[in-house]
């Protein structure tokens, strides 16, 4: 199969690299000449474990290439994937579809045969209809079919998720287009038995939003249960285990923490609420989730201040982990931004360490001092706060930390450390959703 991938963001680049690894011939197209130039030099625009190696080996095998020339990419393609960004539109939270529609128009202008046009970007219900209208207007005789094929990969585990998905959702009623999609995903269904779920196009578009919203609800639910655990003296990790063992609930996405962030959950929940409002079908549970999660991030800053005795003035706080989750350099809607803002507003000085996110974080965090190691950040500080659970924070020398800090206080917002371990090291530990001592 010959595939064109329009957009080399997270989803486009990972999908393009993985499709070429399946043996397809893939051309990745991006308007950003600098990005394409760097990709030619095997420099990845994002931090994603294993991606540079995957790209290099497929480029070497002659199956994967990069260009700024959309016409070249689209020429003779069996399928053209649209994987451009759909950011929240400023002001109203609607998904901004201008990049998707511009790509559709340009693809239509350059089609050379009856290609399948696939929207992989997360797009609101009905976007496929508009893409189809654009194609029909610009290239009425092309015979192109428009398909929805949302992507469920997670940052930091993107390649694994792409290659071993729980399911692949394909939205189209057209049998020829379904066959093209079967051929593209054949290596997956052969090796892993990953089911291809065929649905209507609008249904497929909604599945993506409903999945993300459901996961956001699940996380927010356990976060509120964590608060209740603190009030009544229960342990949220055991509650998670206890409810997660019920197959109907499932154990994943039940880790209490500082609230969800990232490029998907915040943006997609808002876009879903817009669709719901436009169609006069309110989604109250998702509305509450968005509100509770927004409040939670700053509340975590207040939790740190409370742990320091209620006053942050003149105090120094060491923050470990800035990115919205580990194994990424992505700072979008990261809880650390709100936690740090709350601390600074209360008069604290913040020192921070992150393994990969500093370059992205620096311009977003004025007044923060960046350290070269967790211990350097902790030097003379009044509290050590774990905001993101990078693996390297799981094996800190807590005894050394206790001596490095001015006040031996660890606020563990990801529940990495058990109370006994912190106690042995001489650290006072404040976790999320745990019974308080004494």
Specify the residue, 65 or 212, whose C-beta has the smaller distance to ligand UDX: 212
Q: Which of 261, 355, 374, 433 binds ligand UDX (CB under 6 A)?
A: 261
Q: Are 409 and 383 in contact (CB under 8 A)?
A: yes
253 binds ligand UDX (CB under 6 A): yes
Non-local (6+) Cβ contacts of 11 within 8 A are 83, 120, 121, 151, 153
47 binds ligand UDX (CB under 6 A): no
The Cα–Cα gap between 415 and 358 comes to 23
Specify the residue, 24 or 414, whose C-beta has the smaller distance to ligand UDX: 414
Query: Which residue in 17, 408, 11, 435 sits closest to 231, CA to CA?
Result: 435
152 binds ligand UDX (CB under 6 A): yes
Stretch that binds ligand UDX, among 46-54, 108-116, 260-268, 295-303 (CB under 6 A): 260-268
Q: Are 206 and 125 in contact (CB under 8 A)?
A: yes
The Cα–Cα gap between 207 and 310 comes to 44
* 254 marked among binding-site residues: yes
Q: Which of 25, 155, 205, 329 binds ligand UDX (CB under 6 A)?
A: 155
DSSP state, residue 245? T
Give me Rg for the CA atoms of the chain. 24
260 binds ligand UDX (CB under 6 A): yes
Q: Is 264 marked active-site? A: yes
The Cα–Cα gap between 349 and 343 comes to 8
CB-based closest residue to ligand UDX:
264
25 binds ligand UDX (CB under 6 A): no
Residues that contact ligand UDX, how many (by CB under 6 A): 19
Non-local (6+) Cβ contacts of 279 within 8 A are none
The Cα–Cα gap between 359 and 366 comes to 13
* 253 marked among binding-site residues: yes
Specify the residue, 170 or 264, whose C-beta has the smaller distance to ligand UDX: 264
* 255 marked among binding-site residues: yes
214 binds ligand UDX (CB under 6 A): no
DSSP state, residue 397? -
Q: Are 85 and 123 in contact (CB under 8 A)?
A: no
Distance of closest approach, residue 295 Cβ to ligand UDX, in angstroms: 15
Interaxial angle between packed helices 265-278 and 284-307, expressed in degrees from 0 to 180 and rounded to the nearest 10 = 150
254 binds ligand UDX (CB under 6 A): yes
9 binds ligand UDX (CB under 6 A): no
Residues 320-379 that bind ligand UDX (CB under 6 A): 324-325
Binding site feature residues for NAD(+)? 30, 35, 86, 122, 155, 267, 332
- Binding stretches for ligand UDX (CB under 6 A): 151-155, 212, 215, 219, 253-255, 257, 260-262, 264-265, 324-325
Active-site positions read 264
């Amino acid at each position: 199969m010959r595939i064109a991938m329009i957009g080399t963001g997270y989803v486009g680049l990972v999908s393009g690299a993985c499709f070429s690894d399946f043996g397809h011939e893939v051309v990745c197209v991006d308007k950003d000449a600098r990005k394409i130039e760097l990709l030619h030099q095997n420099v990845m625009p994002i931090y994603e474990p294993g991606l540079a190696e995957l790209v290099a080996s497929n480029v070497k095998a002659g199956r994967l290439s990069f260009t700024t020339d959309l016409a070249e990419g689209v020429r003779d393609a069996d399928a053209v994937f649209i994987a451009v960004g759909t950011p929240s539109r400023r002001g109203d939270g609607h998904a901004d579809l201008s990049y998707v529609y511009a790509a559709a128009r340009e693809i239509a202008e350059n089609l050379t045969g009856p290609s399948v046009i696939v929207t992989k970007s997360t797009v609101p219900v009905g976007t496929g209809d508009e893409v189809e209208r654009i194609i029909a207007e610009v290239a009425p005789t092309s015979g192109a079919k428009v398909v929805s094929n949302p992507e469920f990969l997670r940052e930091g585990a993107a390649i694994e998720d792409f290659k071993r998905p729980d399911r692949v959702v394909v939205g189209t009623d057209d049998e020829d287009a379904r066959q093209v999609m079967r051929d593209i995903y054949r290596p997956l269904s052969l090796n892993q038995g990953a089911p291809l779920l065929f649905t209507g196009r609008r249904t497929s578009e909604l599945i993506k939003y409903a999945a993300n919203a459901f996961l956001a609800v699940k996380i927010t639910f356990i976060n509120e249960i964590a608060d209740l655990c603190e009030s009544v003296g229960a342990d949220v990790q055991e509650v998670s285990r206890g409810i997660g063992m019920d197959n109907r609930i499932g154990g994943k996405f039940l880790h209490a923490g500082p609230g969800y962030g990232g490029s998907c959950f915040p943006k997609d929940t808002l876009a879903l609420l817009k669709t719901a409002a436009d169609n006069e079908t309110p989604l109250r549970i998702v509305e509450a989730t968005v509100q509770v999660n927004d409040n939670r991030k700053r509340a975590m800053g207040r939790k740190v201040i409370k742990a320091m005795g209620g006053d942050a003035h003149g105090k120094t706080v060491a923050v470990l982990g800035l990115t919205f989750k580990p194994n990424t350099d992505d700072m979008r809607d990261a809880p650390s931004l709100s936690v740090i803002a709350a601390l600074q507003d209360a008069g604290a000085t913040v020192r921070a360490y992150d393994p990969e996110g500093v370059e992205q974080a620096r311009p977003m965090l004025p007044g923060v001092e960046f350290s070269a190691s967790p211990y350097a950040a902790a030097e003379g500080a009044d509290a050590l706060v774990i905001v993101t659970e990078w693996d390297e924070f799981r094996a800190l020398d807590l005894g050394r930390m206790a001596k490095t800090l001015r006040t031996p206080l660890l606020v563990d917002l990801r529940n990495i450390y058990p109370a006994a371990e912190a106690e042995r090291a001489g650290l006072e530990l404040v976790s999320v959703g745990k019974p308080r001592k004494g």
